[in-house]
């Protein structure tokens, strides 16, 4: 097979078990890296505040015009770390140089998304300064060949389980760290980079594996037909509904554990601040959230594997953005400036259920699973798919609380099933185009009442 510029990459995650000295060193790295992150971000904010106003719009008679400062870049800040090693020796001593460079690169990427935006021009929010608890990951861009050593374990488990080999990974300036080698690395792949993360139950490492002989994984171009395609509608009562009527029940992992988390939070609030008992309960809460996250991700993988195992080759899904769906309502004010009820108390429960479902994570996992199986996932616009009758193309307006679709043509169908059929029709190009009537308020006022 010919080599491609876009090589095939995989990310394998393992748990590492450092000893006390190595764990102290990794924590010390995170403690220093979060301070470096804040220093570099502060320098960029100072440049932004001093140079973002044009000269002709600056309040000259109120404030003075400071001297223009060069924009901090990745290379200038990287050079500054070498100059400040003598003055701030305690901040850079002991940390690998490439790890510091990756931390500066992380600051540059987040700040550029705030000022310039991504490839589509969409800007992200203002970067935040990190605390010790919020800075939990650092990157190692290069690892030496043969950094992972695996020795076969001659002892098997008592209950006849699979054999687990003993493995150690060599991290720069840290040494040989024990690794739980539960998943073998495929043949032909080499370790290129690593991400070390501190979580509630310990330390984890994510290895980036690369095989230059295999091209990158892309969704194949398949001509969709009525027989080889399937429409999917995601929801909150049923996790997804297929166009052939098959459904997947929703799990609601967070909703089922909400009372337990609330009781743990109440017990934590009653403990003295910064006490050992408060830290113990905080760790227990974080472990519970981690368990819920893993359950949700496992459910998404199992559900995606169930769909990919079907005979269909093309899956039409909704092009939705859960972040926009779970936004807060805009505040309402009267003429005097008093805030009016805007329905946010009712919307907060809906937002919690949307975040608990995790539609975005499921759709990304489904696209990855389908690409590995040689199938395609196509996103379509879901506009009016739940309002139009899938039998006669009549527009039947209904509220979100109405879960059954009833049409004058006699079709009585579940609302999500009807939407899944319409999503498939949108993907195939046979969905009717609905044009809304747009009338201005002046025309509505001037319109004469019917006799």
The string of pLDDT tens digits covering residues 383-431 is 889 999 988 888 888 888 888 999 888 889 999 999 999 999 999 988 8
Structure tokens at 128: 């935040």
Instruction: Taking residues 198-223, report their average pLDDT.
Output: 85
Q: Say what the pLDDT of residue 434 is.
A: 64
> Which helix or strand (DSSP H or E) is residue 62 part of?
none
SS3 per-residue string spanning 320-367 = CCHHHHCCCCCCEECCCCCEECCCHHHHHHHHHHHHHHCHHHHHHHHH
Return phi, psi of residue 209, to 5°.
-105, 140
Say if residues 275 and 233 touch (Cβ distance below 8 Å).
no
pLDDT in tens, 231-252: 999 999 999 999 999 999 999 9
Say if residues 10 and 190 touch (Cβ distance below 8 Å).
no
Above pLDDT 90, what percent of the chain?
49
CA dihedral for 238, 321, 368, 136, sign (positive or negative): negative
Local confidence band at 445 (pLDDT 50, 70, 90 cut-offs): very low
Q: Say what the pLDDT of residue 2 is.
A: 35
Q: Which of 27-31, 72-76, 142-146, 217-221 has the weakest average pLDDT?
A: 217-221
| 141 Cβ contact list (under 8 Å, min separation 6) | 98, 101, 102, 193
- How far is CA 201 from its chain centroid? 21
Local confidence band at 284 (pLDDT 50, 70, 90 cut-offs): very high
- Extract long-range pairs of 412-418: CB within 8 Å, 24+ residues apart: 414/241, 415/386, 416/233, 416/235, 416/237, 416/238, 416/241, 416/247, 416/386, 417/233, 417/241, 417/243, 417/245, 418/386, 418/389, 418/390
Model-wide pTM > 0.85:
no
**Is residue 286 scored above 60 in pLDDT?**
yes
Q: Say what the pLDDT of residue 159 is.
A: 47
**Is residue 440 scored above 50 in pLDDT?**
no
**Is residue 64 scored above 50 in pLDDT?**
yes
Say if residues 366 and 302 touch (Cβ distance below 8 Å).
no
């Amino acid at each position: 097979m010919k080599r491609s510029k876009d090589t095939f990459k995989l990310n394998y995650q393992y748990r590492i078990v450092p000893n006390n000295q190595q764990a102290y060193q990794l924590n010390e790295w995170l403690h220093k890296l979060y301070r470096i992150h804040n220093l570099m971000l502060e320098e960029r904010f100072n440049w932004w505040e001093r140079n973002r106003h044009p000269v002709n719009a600056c309040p000259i008679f109120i404030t003075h015009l400071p001297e223009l400062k060069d924009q901090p870049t990745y290379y200038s800040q990287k050079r500054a770390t070498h100059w400040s090693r003598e003055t701030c020796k305690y901040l850079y001593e002991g940390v690998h140089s490439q790890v510091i460079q990756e931390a500066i690169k992380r600051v540059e990427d987040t700040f550029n998304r705030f000022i310039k935006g991504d490839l589509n021009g969409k800007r992200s929010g203002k970067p935040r300064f990190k605390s010790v608890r919020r800075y939990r990951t650092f990157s190692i861009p290069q690892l030496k060949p043969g950094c992972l050593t695996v020795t076969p374990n001659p002892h098997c488990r008592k209950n006849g389980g699979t054999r687990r080999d003993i493995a150690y990974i060599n991290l720069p300036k840290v040494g040989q760290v024990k690794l739980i080698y539960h998943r073998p690395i495929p043949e032909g792949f080499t370790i290129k980079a690593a991400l070390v993360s501190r979580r509630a139950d310990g330390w984890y490492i994510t290895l980036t594996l690369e095989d230059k002989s295999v091209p990158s994984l892309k969704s194949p171009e398949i001509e969709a037909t009525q027989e080889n395609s399937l429409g999917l509608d995601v929801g909150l009562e049923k996790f997804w509904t297929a166009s052939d009527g098959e459904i997947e029940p929703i799990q609601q992992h967070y909703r089922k554990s909400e009372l337990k988390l609330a009781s743990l939070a109440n017990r934590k609030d009653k403990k003295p601040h910064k006490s050992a008992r408060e830290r113990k309960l905080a760790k227990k809460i974080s472990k519970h959230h981690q368990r819920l996250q893993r359950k949700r991700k496992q459910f998404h993988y199992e559900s995606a594997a169930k769909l990919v195992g079907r005979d269909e080759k093309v899956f039409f899904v909704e092009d939705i953005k859960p972040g926009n769906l779970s936004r807060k309502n805009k505040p309402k004010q009267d003429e005097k400036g008093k805030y009016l009820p805007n329905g946010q108390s009712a919307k907060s429960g809906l937002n919690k259920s949307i975040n608990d479902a995790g539609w975005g994570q499921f759709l990304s996992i489904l696209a990855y699973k389908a690409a590995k199986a040689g199938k395609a996932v196509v996103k379509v616009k879901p506009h009016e798919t739940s309002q139009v009758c899938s039998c006669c193309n009549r527009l039947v307006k209904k509220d979100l609380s109405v879960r059954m679709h009833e049409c004058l043509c006699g079709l009585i169908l579940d609302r999500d099933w009807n939407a899944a059929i319409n999503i498939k029709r949108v993907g195939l190009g046979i969905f009717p185009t609905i044009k809304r009537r747009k009338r201005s308020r002046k025309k509505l006022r001037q319109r004469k009442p019917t006799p």
